Structure 1
């Protein structure tokens, strides 16, 4: 090992994080682990979920690993996994009607897709995974965590990282796949939307033009902090419409969180609103994470969505924003895979790891996890056969 871990520091609030040590490890590599992002999130949601942070140091006090944790309720609104999960824990928060919840300690970010739980320096990726697994075991022994979280979850790893992240299985974690992350790689020849559309087959180019035709009555605006604040109630309603259609959730962002993100991150946080006759009928958010544009959330008025192609317009708008910003990739996340493939995004498998805090229930967790698999969908390839994406 390049550096032997000498001590670990566990932190209950983002305000208590040693900023210099944290920033030395993060070093601008991941916006989701930036103190600006973490502060925005915790300030808005600290009354609804728990936040913990950890730093590992070498024997000579060099910061080696930083990790961010969230203590959240997993809400299974359709009770898809409720019966199986009931056998795992006596610490079930609710099991009523069509709602089932269980507390989960997450190393990562429930409001984003990808590897946003930890970063390291001066040690190898394998050593970093082992250290964060050990660090997490220590964190779970703390009284404030021990009796609250039944399951620990590491989310979530790209295919090229699983050779390292599979080390978590040495610590009794069970690996499983979830719905794919839809990713569009921007081609060097695309300088604008005309270039992008010209690379498509006629059928898909016609479909894209139909989206623009249906949505021509919409006015798309970039929102400032003040815009988000002034439209907070409408934003909450639009966002709630989308969340109502989900089968499960790990938590909910609020308009206050969007305000904080815009205030703290500025132009790195994109909030775009769609107006129809002076009424806000939809919004989209995205983060600039290095050379990647990461689409995060949308809010929709479903009574108008089909007629004006609001959601499809936002997908096209993400592509256009990515081109304007000269991004390398656009990450469109999970759900609506068919529509996202129609704009050129391809599926990327994402792997997670889960462990119950007790050994016997952890054995029972295996068949449940094995039953979880990515949703099936029909992949569309919109680009011409002679176009190399």
Structure 2
């Protein structure tokens, strides 16, 4: 991630390569990532570099004795194990631990993903519908299959990518060393694009390392005041216009039964749940990955009561579902699915959002994270946009220079108007 002259101070333990001095290069070599002549970090073996020892592995259970299972559920090994066991197609997992004097002082979770731009952008797959500029975009996208190294979690919105257990004064040095090691790992794994996600402010250490801050769609979050004890308190805080809107949604969903499913029931409805999920995600204009069929079963199995899958039934017919994950005092809205026709008839999605608020109040949470997409309807139930940055870097210095322009060229746009459902005090 740092420039090539910033070599690792590499000392051999289980590997012996060092970075060589820069040699005179051809134009062709400049157009390729610098993968050759760099130190390697064999999976499962400790390697010394930059004053630390590093352990790079592909399964969380290989480092469970060192991994710090703090209060943040999304960094706990049980959650990370569930993601591995969901077997999401095309997704690989990696974990990097830093050791000082035999003690683990930091850990980061990584995901490796190969993405085809032409396949990920829905509007580009509908070739008969697109105009001139979309055809140009499709032509460029067809050239683009990229291997990503994601420093973070593609299943969440938020900065759930690292933990540190070191004195604050020593943290900058450790972070700088980590960036250097990640740069070597990117070359080792033949990565084209590194992604660090998601940050709610500018990260100077990343920008100094050549990353570009891209402000994609915001994270939609909602604070829950202590005074709200139940759904009635929430509705009473609304202006009359939005309270009427909520009651209209409740009326349209009369006859729909919302029921939390246990593990056995999730297994029983597994195929139907996944089909309903695909009916929603396949309508999105951009998708980098599709969750594995075992995702919901594995999360329930590993997280127990902290993972809730609430299904919507009309009599015995499954119409839709939503999932939430309780992370301490925060409720994270996760994946969902519904039948499009049932959604139009019963306003299922809006009713689901209200049910999430109700669930958060029952759990005595003080915040809900609704994630990205569907920004306007989320704001209508009280969520506020929180600006979120994703940091990107191409491993080729020339292509990295034009990366922000290329991303903006292909980025799907969502035009929306923020709503303000609550009365002003």
TM-score, structure 2 normalization = 0.80
Moved more, 72-81 or 278-287: 72-81
Q: Match for 1:31 among 56, 73, 86? A: 73
CA contact (8 A) 1:178 1:374 kept: no
Q: Distance in 2 between matches of 1:333 and 1:258?
A: 18
Structure 2 stretches lacking a partner, 5+ long: 1-49, 125-132
Deviation at 1:242, TM superposition (A): 0.7
Q: Does 1:377 align with 2:422?
A: no
Q: Which secondary structure state, in structure 2, belongs to the residue aligned with residue 249 of structure 1?
A: coil
Equivalent residue, structure 2, for 1:21: 66
CA contact (8 A) 1:176 1:353 kept: yes
Q: Does 1:217 align with 2:261?
A: no
Sort the Cα spacing of 1:127 and 1:365 in 2 relative to 1 into closer, same or farther, 3 A: same
Equivalent residue, structure 1, for 2:325: 287
Sort the Cα spacing of 1:173 and 1:14 in 2 relative to 1 into closer, same or farther, 3 A: same
Q: Which secondary structure state, in structure 2, belongs to the residue aligned with residue 285 of structure 1?
A: strand
Q: Distance in 1 between matches of 2:136 and 2:77?
A: 39
Q: Distance in 2 between matches of 1:128 and 1:342?
A: 43
CA RMSD after TM alignment: 2.3
Deviation at 1:215, TM superposition (A): 0.8
> Larger Rg: 1 or 2?
2
1:7-156 correspondence to structure 2 within 5 Å? 7-17=53-63, 19-23=64-68, 26-28=69-71, 30-45=72-87, 48-58=90-100, 60-74=101-115, 75-79=120-124, 95=142, 101-124=145-168, 126-127=172-173, 129-142=175-188, 145-146=189-190, 149-156=191-198
Q: Distance in 2 between matches of 1:208 and 1:112?
A: 27
CA contact (8 A) 1:73 1:251 kept: no
CA contact (8 A) 1:176 1:373 kept: no
- Give aligned pairs, total: 361
Structure 1 stretches lacking a partner, 5+ long: none
Sort the Cα spacing of 1:225 and 1:297 in 2 relative to 1 into closer, same or farther, 3 A: same
Deviations 1:340-389 (A, max 9, x none): 11111100000011111111111121322455597431011111111xxx
Q: Which has the higher strand share?
A: 1
